């Protein structure tokens, strides 16, 4: 009897359990959200643009897309068309510059991609070849973007006028051209097509309207003559279309926490790095010249020692120390002094300083020998020195230089690298060069970054060599934004794609572009201030980067500029970090994963060193502290909201809510900004909070949301003296601090209540 009863009871229970587990599994699988796709597929034609770096998409569009949180994946159509997984890319972008050879295959593929839901951005040439079949297929494709190509083309500037002008989208850096460039006749195909810019033109008595900018659920189309304006006389360009609004148009105003590479702990990043060219050059400044002081020593005395609160990354050309190839050991003396400084980060600027990296992609020593012979001949002819000689020690002849002078560039020809005695060896250029740098530093200090030399266009295996060596890599980009480069078109994106590798660009140009490759106008590097200002507002698109060559200290005017730039960094509201730290943040941009958890709520993963996320036009939103996790602060600048997540936590949840006139106090104090990197923020049980900090100089910081009362600030650095201070927080709950302690190797800080303050609920 008992057994039958138990069976009767047991079976329904088992069923119930199985049912509940199944429902849980079903609900979990149904609710599992996917990470946002932030990658666009960029198609290009290598017949026109040899590699991604040469494409219009990289040069012009990658920066605005990066700024909005997107990254590019390049594909050469000449290698075939990619097999697309569903949802593999957020959108597809083309900016062809001439018809495609195999337009039929391309359009057939594009039709398929469109039918599978991919949105396209088409700028410039659609890729149409001059056959009717191509025209038909192209029309079938662009039909998915809600437009139709007509068999008409309008050339000549006069008999056309603008009809529809979307003022939100046009006139970004200059107005629409008065004389209209040539355009294809394109019409809107269906009711879902929105025409943002159009022109009316006539042929005889027949009038037509052509769409110049359109948007549609299938994508966006921009006729290239109306995207930007190029002036041939000045060789300068400016945007006509608003490229940021273009991103929003294509991506449907998608809103998510944008991974930001310009800001850390609520402040704009400052970093400085120096390429070691001219290390041993004797200065032209008479007070130094008369004593034979070399550039590296001037740098040490004038720019490093007086600024212990500002880190600087110094990249040595290790060949400068190698007498076997023409260097001199004496260069090592100053290197040791420099690398002994806490604020100096070790870096390699390669061993033999390649000027033209493409020469070494498929290296042929015989071809280089031909160049060496030419170099010898030119030197024998006593050709005048060129800029290239700046790389080479300009000093009294030492054994190395005299013996191997034919192997040292400087004979006025175009040599592939500076030191050519031994065959090129990537091992020597990267890992061995890094080791050599480390041998000049105190025990335990590591070289963390390679600064690319010459044309800063390394090939794929060179970049891979830095990754294999476990270091970052940096250089290239040459960002400027000033009167001589008057457009965001001259601001580089975060990185350059090199095969399957990634090269991180600098955030500003060095002095070469200001001084015509160091041949004149040496005062002009002072104008870096314009680029720093213009890339900081109205949009903060770049950190503040002070980048120069060692030889820059040869001239008084440039030395003066450098000091002024360093003063700006010291006294401005920046967070100074090393170049390798910046490179890590930049690299992390591409790894960040963002998963929507609900409306205005996202899970952030794989953020690594990138701990700042941004929302633009954010005056009406603020952090929802109750729903967020591992968010340690927020700050505002230029109408944007910067969210600070804890760098020590691998994930975070960012949740937003609308701002209200009377906000409820946050559950814990939060950071507004700091000059040190702040992490591991924990509330203290009694009252207050503790955190870890790392940084250079004094720890200026601003905390908000503290309960009014008295507090004790206690900072315990890993190295150096403990610092303690007593402060009072007024009713506003704001605490402004300047912690005078050594935090370069880390510090633990606590802010504890004394009396009257109680942050516990």
Partner 1 sequence: MTDKHTLSRTQWNVLLGLAGLIGIVAAYALIPSQTEKVEMLIADRQYSAAHRALKDMYDQGSRDPTLLANLVKTAKQFGDMDLYETALILLVEGRPKDPTLRDELLEFYKRMDRHAAYFALLEDSLKKIGKPTYFNDLVAYHRLAGRTDIEVEILHDHMNASNVSADNLRRLILLLAKSRRNAEALEAYRRFADQPVTETLSWDVKATVFKLMIIEGSPDTAMAQALGWLETSRDSSLLRAALFNMSDSLLTAGRADLMRNFAEASYRHLPVLSLSTGYALTQFGLGALALQQTQQLIASGYVLNSLEIGSYVSILINQNEIDAAANYLLAQAPESVLQEDWVALLENAIANDRWDISSAIAPNLTDVTLTYFPLIEAQLAYSRLDHDRAREILNAVDLQEQSSEVRRAWFYLSKDILSLPDLIARMQSAGPLSLFPQDVLIAYTKQVEPVDPQEFARVWRHMGGTQDLKASQSPNK
Residues forming the site for partner 1 (CB under 8 A): 83, 85-86, 108, 111-112, 115-116, 128, 130-136, 139-140, 150-153, 155-159, 174-179, 202-205, 229, 231, 233-234, 236, 238, 286-287, 289, 482-484, 486, 514, 521-524, 526-527, 530, 555-561
Residue 542 Cα distances to 3, 233, 264, 589, 651, angstroms: 76, 29, 12, 14, 25
Q: Are strands 747-753 and 709-717 parallel, antiparallel or unpaired?
A: antiparallel
Residue 746 CB burial class (10 angstroms; 0-12, 13-18, ≥19): middle
Output the smallest distance, CB 108 to partner 1, in A: 5
Q: Tell which residue, 697, 753, 749, 703, has the closest CA to residue 724.
A: 749
Is 19 or 521 the residue whose CB approaches partner 1 more closely? 521
Output the smallest distance, CB 239 to partner 1, in A: 11
Output the smallest distance, CB 276 to partner 1, in A: 23
Burial per residue of 563-592, b for 16 or more beta-carbon CB atoms within 10 angstroms, e otherwise: eebbebbbeeebbbbbbbbbbbbbbbbbeb
Is it true that the peptide bond before 538 is cis, omega within 30 degrees of 0? Answer: yes
Strand partners, 736: 702
Output the smallest distance, CB 396 to partner 1, in A: 18
Output the smallest distance, CB 576 to partner 1, in A: 24
Is 86 or 755 the residue whose CB approaches partner 1 more closely? 86
Q: Tell which residue, 555, 507, 551, has the closest CA to residue 528.
A: 507
| Beta strand ranges found along 289-440 (DSSP E) | 312-316, 344-348
Output the smallest distance, CB 522 to partner 1, in A: 8
Is 109 or 613 the residue whose CB approaches partner 1 more closely? 109
Is 134 or 744 the residue whose CB approaches partner 1 more closely? 134
Q: Are 706 and 757 in contact (CB under 8 A)?
A: yes
Q: Give the three-class secondary structure for 66.
A: helix
Output the smallest distance, CB 32 to partner 1, in A: 16
Is 133 or 414 the residue whose CB approaches partner 1 more closely? 133
Q: Tell which residue, 174, 128, 173, has the closest CA to residue 150.
A: 128
Output the smallest distance, CB 151 to partner 1, in A: 4
Residue found under tokens 């007070």? 287
Residue found under tokens 């020597």? 428
Q: Give the three-class secondary structure for 207.
A: strand
Output the smallest distance, CB 688 to partner 1, in A: 47
Output the smallest distance, CB 594 to partner 1, in A: 22
Q: Are 423 and 338 in contact (CB under 8 A)?
A: no
Is 1 or 234 the residue whose CB approaches partner 1 more closely? 234
Is 82 or 720 the residue whose CB approaches partner 1 more closely? 82
Is 135 or 590 the residue whose CB approaches partner 1 more closely? 135
Output the smallest distance, CB 482 to partner 1, in A: 5
Q: Tell which residue, 400, 325, 408, 328, has the closest CA to residue 371.
A: 408
Output the smallest distance, CB 139 to partner 1, in A: 7
Strand partners, 575: 269
Output the smallest distance, CB 90 to partner 1, in A: 17
Output the smallest distance, CB 34 to partner 1, in A: 13
Q: Are 443 and 346 in contact (CB under 8 A)?
A: no
Burial per residue of 70-106, b for 16 or more beta-carbon CB atoms within 10 angstroms, e otherwise: bbbebbbbeeebbeeeeeebbbbbbbbeeebeebbeb
Is 235 or 500 the residue whose CB approaches partner 1 more closely? 235
Is 561 or 635 the residue whose CB approaches partner 1 more closely? 561
Is 515 or 612 the residue whose CB approaches partner 1 more closely? 515
DSSP letters along 691-708, please?
EEEE-SS-EEEEEE-PPS
Q: Are 554 and 281 in contact (CB under 8 A)?
A: yes
Is 11 or 230 the residue whose CB approaches partner 1 more closely? 230
Output the smallest distance, CB 236 to partner 1, in A: 6
Q: Are 610 and 588 in contact (CB under 8 A)?
A: yes
Q: Tell which residue, 733, 735, 675, has the closest CA to residue 725.
A: 735
Rounded CA separation 504/473 (Å) = 6
Output the smallest distance, CB 89 to partner 1, in A: 15
Q: Are 419 and 319 in contact (CB under 8 A)?
A: yes
Is 13 or 483 the residue whose CB approaches partner 1 more closely? 483
Output the smallest distance, CB 697 to partner 1, in A: 25
Is 273 or 522 the residue whose CB approaches partner 1 more closely? 522
Rounded CA separation 493/502 (Å) = 12
Is 173 or 374 the residue whose CB approaches partner 1 more closely? 173
3-state secondary structure 720-748: CCCEEEEEEECCCCCEEEEECCCCCCCEE
Is 232 or 381 the residue whose CB approaches partner 1 more closely? 232
Residue 498 Cα distances to 83, 358, 457, 710, angstroms: 21, 12, 9, 55
Rounded CA separation 421/212 (Å) = 57
Is 134 or 673 the residue whose CB approaches partner 1 more closely? 134
Q: Which letter does DSSP use for residue 38 in this model?
A: -
């Amino acid at each position: 009897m008992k057994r039958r009863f138990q069976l009767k009871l047991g079976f329904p229970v088992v069923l119930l359990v199985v049912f509940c587990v199944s429902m849980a599994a079903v609900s979990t699988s149904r609710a599992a959200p996917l990470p946002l796709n932030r990658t666009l597929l960029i198609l290009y034609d290598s017949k026109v643009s040899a590699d991604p770096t040469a494409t219009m998409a990289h040069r012009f569009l990658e920066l605005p897309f990066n700024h909005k949180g997107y990254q590019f994946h390049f594909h050469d159509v000449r290698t075939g068309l990619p097999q697309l997984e569903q949802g593999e890319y957020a959108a597809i972008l083309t900016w062809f510059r001439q018809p495609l050879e195999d337009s039929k295959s391309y359009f057939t593929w594009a039709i398929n991609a469109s039918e599978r839901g991919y949105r396209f951005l088409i700028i410039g040439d659609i890729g149409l070849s001059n056959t009717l079949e191509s025209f038909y297929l192209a029309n079938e494709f662009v039909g998915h973007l809600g437009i139709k190509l007509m068999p008409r083309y309008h050339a000549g500037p006069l008999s056309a006028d603008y009809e529809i002008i979307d003022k939100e989208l046009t006139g970004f850096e200059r107005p629409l051209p008065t004389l209209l460039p040539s355009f294809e006749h394109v019409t809107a195909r269906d009711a879902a097509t929105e025409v943002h810019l159009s022109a009316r033109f006539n042929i005889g008595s027949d009038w037509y309207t052509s769409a110049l900018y359109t948007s549609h659920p299938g994508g966006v189309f921009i006729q290239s003559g109306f995207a930007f304006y190029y002036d041939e006389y000045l060789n300068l360009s400016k945007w006509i279309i608003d490229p940021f609004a273009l991103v929003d148009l294509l991506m449907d105003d998608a809103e998510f926490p944008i991974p930001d590479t310009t800001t850390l702990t609520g402040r704009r990043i400052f970093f400085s790095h120096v390429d070691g060219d001219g290390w041993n050059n004797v200065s032209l400044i008479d007070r130094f010249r008369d004593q034979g002081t070399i550039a590296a020593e001037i740098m040490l005395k004038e720019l490093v020692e007086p600024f212990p609160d500002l880190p600087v990354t110094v990249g040595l050309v290790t060949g400068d120390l190698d007498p076997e190839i023409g260097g001199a050991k004496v260069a090592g003396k100053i290197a040791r002094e420099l690398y002994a400084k806490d604020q100096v980060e070790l870096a390699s600027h390669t061993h033999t300083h390649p000027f033209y990296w493409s020469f070494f992609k498929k290296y042929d020593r015989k071809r280089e020998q031909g160049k060496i012979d030419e170099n010898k001949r030119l030197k024998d002819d006593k050709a005048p020195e060129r800029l290239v000689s700046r790389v080479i020690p300009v000093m009294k002849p030492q054994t190395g230089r005299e013996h191997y002078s034919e192997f040292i560039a400087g004979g006025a020809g175009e040599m592939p690298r500076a030191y050519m005695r031994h065959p090129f060896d990537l091992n020597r250029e990267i890992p061995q060069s890094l080791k050599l740098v480390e041998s000049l530093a105190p025990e335990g200090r590591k070289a963390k970054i390679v600064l690319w030399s010459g044309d800063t266009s390394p090939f794929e295996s060179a970049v891979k060599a830095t990754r294999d060596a476990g270091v970052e890599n940096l250089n290239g980009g040459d960002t400027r934004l000033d009167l001589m480069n008057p457009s965001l078109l001259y601001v580089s994106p975060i990185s350059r794609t090199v095969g399957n590798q990634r090269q991180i660009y600098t955030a500003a140009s060095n002095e070469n572009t200001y001084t015509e490759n160091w041949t004149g106008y040496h005062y002009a590097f002072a104008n870096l201030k314009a680029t720093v200002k213009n890339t900081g507002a109205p949009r903060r698109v770049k950190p503040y980067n002070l980048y120069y060559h060692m030889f820059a200290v040869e001239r008084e005017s440039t030395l003066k500029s450098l000091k002024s730039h360093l003063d700006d960094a010291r006294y401005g509201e920046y967070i100074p970090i090393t170049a390798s730290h910046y490179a890590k943040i930049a690299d992390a941009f591409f790894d960040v994963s963002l998963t929507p958890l609900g409306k205005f709520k996202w899970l952030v993963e794989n953020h690594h060193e990138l701990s700042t996320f941004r929302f633009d036009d954010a005056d009406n939103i603020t952090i929802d502290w109750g729903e967020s996790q591992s968010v340690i602060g927020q700050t505002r600048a230029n109408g944007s909201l910067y969210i600070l997540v804890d760098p020590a936590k691998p994930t975070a949840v960012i949740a937003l809510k609308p701002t209200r006139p009377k906000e409820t106090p946050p559950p814990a104090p939060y950071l507004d900004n700091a000059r040190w990197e702040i992490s591991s923020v924990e509330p203290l049980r009694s009252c207050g909070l503790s955190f870890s900090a790392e940084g250079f100089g004094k720890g200026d910081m601003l905390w908000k949301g503290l309960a009014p009362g008295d507090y004790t600030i206690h900072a315990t650095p890993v190295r150096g003296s403990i610092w303690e201070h007593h402060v009072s927080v007024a009713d506003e709950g704001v605490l402004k601090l300047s912690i005078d302690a050594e935090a370069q190797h880390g510090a633990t800080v606590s802010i504890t209540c004394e009396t009257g303050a109680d942050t516990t609920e």
